[in-house]
Amino acid sequence: MNSRWYSLPENSPLTGMTLEETNLRRLTGVSLMAIRREEGEEIDYPEGQTVLDIGDKLLLVGEPSELDSFERLAKGEIAVPKESTSCQWLILTESSPFVGQKLSDVDLHGKYAVEIQAIQREGKLIRWPQGDTETQMGDRLLLCGSFHELSQIRQLTIPQSKIYPEKQKLSTTK
């Protein structure tokens, strides 16, 4: 684990949000240990209702990839989910139409306005996967979007036979 102080950029989408709204831990994996305000006030172990301000310096703890993910989020390179957004994990089974495809070809953002925030694969977490990432059977995708859109995607990935099982014919013996 690494720790570092990070200066929140002036135009960061995180400015003005509460820590609870940013959901930093879930989105990036970092832990926020302290905030040093521009006027010198230091807040150790800030609570969820703490609002991030312009000029804040944040003491972050995490792996290098998590710290990089936070920096991309703070700079606005990746989107912060909105309040009305739901997130859920989706497991890709062998019958999923997404298995073996690049994320850019699946294009969930373009077709459904759903973001793939992370992929869990073989015990490792890939945060903010790029478009050239190819999906594999068994991948768990962290999808964020509206409840309706997430439901549509779930229907696409579940084989029809599991949704509507074939009716069994009853045989009668005389």
Residue 29, Ramachandran bin (φ over 0: left; ψ between -120 and 50: alpha; else beta): left
Q: Would the pLDDT of 33 be above 90?
A: yes
Claim to verify: residue 47 and residue 90 sit in the same structural domain: no
- Work out the number of other CB atoms within 10 angstroms of the CB of residue 30: 25
> 87 forms bridges with which residues in the sheet?
144
For residue 59, the enclosing domain spans 2-74
Could you write out the DSSP letters of every residue in 116-152? EEEEEETTEEEES--TTPBP-TT-EEEEEE-HHHHHH
Would you state the pLDDT for residue 101?
93
Calpha distance 59→65 (Å, rounded):
16
pLDDT digits (tens, 9 = 90+) for 40-84: 999 999 999 999 999 999 999 998 888 988 898 888 877 666 655
Total domains, the chain? 2
Residue 167 is assigned to a structural domain of this protein: no
Residue 125's domain is classified under what CATH number?
A: 3.30.70.1450
Claim to verify: residue 41 and residue 90 sit in the same structural domain: no
Structural domain ending residue among the three candidates 54, 74, 94: 74
CA distances from 86 to 32, 70, 104, 113, 142 (A): 23, 20, 22, 12, 10
Calpha distance 108→150 (Å, rounded):
10
Claim to verify: residue 92 and residue 69 sit in the same structural domain: no
pLDDT digits (tens, 9 = 90+) for 137-170: 999 898 888 888 888 888 887 654 444 444 444 5
Q: Three-class SS of residue 104?
A: helix
Claim to verify: residue 14 and residue 53 sit in the same structural domain: yes
Residue 80 is assigned to a structural domain of this protein: no
Could you write out the DSSP letters of every residue in 10-57? TT-TTTT-BHHHHTHHHHH--EEEEEE-TTS-EEES--TTPBP-TT-E
Structural domain ending residue among the three candidates 15, 41, 74: 74
Claim to verify: residue 69 and residue 115 sit in the same structural domain: no
Mean pLDDT of the chain: 84
Claim to verify: residue 16 and residue 45 sit in the same structural domain: yes
Calpha distance 68→33 (Å, rounded):
17
Calpha distance 164→117 (Å, rounded):
30
